Amino acid sequence: MSTAAPPSEPDLESLLRPARRPPARLQGLLFVLTCLTTFSAGAVGWRPLLLGVDDVAADVALHWQRGLAFMAAVMAVLTAHEGGHFIAAQLHRIPATLPFFIPVPILLTGTLGAVIGMEGSRANRRQLFDIALAGPLAGLVVAVPLLAAGMLTGVPDAANPFALAPLAHWIQQAVRPDLPAGMTVAPNAAFMAGWVGLLVTGLNMIPISQLDGGHICHALFGQRGNWLARAVLLVAIGTVVVSGQFNWVLMLVIVTLLGVDHPPIRDDGSTLGVGRTVLGLLSLLIPLVTFMPEPLRFE
């Protein structure tokens, strides 16, 4: 995920702007902490770390190899995603920070992903488009093979609580045609890293605010894209209320606080060209095939 804000807005994202150049040791510390939390998540079997200390210690002692495998795999997915943003920003000479990884010890996956700061006000629409799309594509290049490998080597398990996105269903049908309908494999390191990669990509590609999808939406439609972002937010709120999926309330609050409308960029009146426009319109399908409205299923 990349973030950008106009220079005059002293909001949360201004703290991440490259002009402030946060010390690299902060990013290094967050990287190490996220390695630890994802290692722990894998070692305890992707359960919330609300267990007793003795239980966690016992799981780590027994399953440290699984923890290391998940840590390496999921950090590779997140690094690829943010690296795609960073490299594209460097190629376009748009100032950007190194990634800030987000460790969450109590979360099933150990992390909420990562984010870079970017001075998007210096970008034109083509540059914004390239930087925004590079992250999700790079992340999927790593996540999809990991998910396929996890499914190919995994043990069939109808009790796997982690729901599959449409893209994950298609991958499973391709690599594990032996599995009956409604069944997948037991969680393993590669499967879970790929699962996290799809979930993070799906969230980031929602065309709203300063998520990756919001940047792409703005690059495609300019200020008119704000109407799409507002519509998506209203639909999301209505869906949460009707379906009772209140676990997404915090995400909606964060997106709203960041601002639903996309801030102005340099040369907002420029065009993308035919190739980028077609690719951008196709990319709007990514959240439809990677996002899981109900990531955990309890039957």
- pLDDT (mean) for 213-225: 91
Tokens representing 150? 């996890």
Inter-axis angle of helices 189-204 and 125-153, nearest 10:
150
Tokens of 80: 């690829």
Query: Whole-angstrom Cα distance, residue 284 to residue 131?
Result: 15
Range with the poorest average pLDDT among 16-30, 37-51, 95-109, 202-216: 16-30
Q: What is the pLDDT of residue 25?
A: 86
Query: How confident is the model over 25-44, as a mean pLDDT?
Result: 93
Q: Tell me what pLDDT residue 13 has.
A: 46
17 vs 117: CA distance, rounded Å: 5
Residue 212 Cα distances to 65, 264, 269, angstroms: 33, 15, 20
pLDDT of residue 253: 84
CA distance 247 to 262: 25
Q: Apex CA 35: angle with CA 298 and CA 14, to 5°?
A: 95
Q: Say which range, 33-37, 186-190, 261-265, has the weakest mean pLDDT.
A: 261-265
Mean predicted confidence (pLDDT) in 220-242: 88
pLDDT for the residue numbered 164? 93
- Statement: residue 3 has pLDDT above 90: no
- Give tens-digit pLDDT for 44-82: 988 766 555 567 777 778 889 999 999 999 999 999 999
Please tell me the distance from the alpha carbon of residue 119 to that of residue 99, in angstroms, as a whole number: 14
What are the extents of the domains in the chain?
A: 2-290
CB 125 within 8 A of CB 268: yes
Whether the Cβ atoms of residue 140 and residue 201 lie closer than 8 Å to each other: yes
Using pLDDT thresholds of 50, 70 and 90, give the confidence band for residue 23: low
Rounded CA separation 14/126 (Å)? 22
Amino acid at 159: A
- Note the pLDDT tens digit of each residue in 151-166: 999 999 988 899 999 9
Instruction: Return the pLDDT at 177.
Output: 94
Between the two ends of the chain, the Cα-to-Cα distance in Å is 32
Identify the pLDDT of residue 193: 97
**Interval 246-294: pLDDT, tens:** 778 877 888 788 788 888 887 777 788 899 999 999 999 999 999 888 8
Percent of the chain with pLDDT over 90: 55
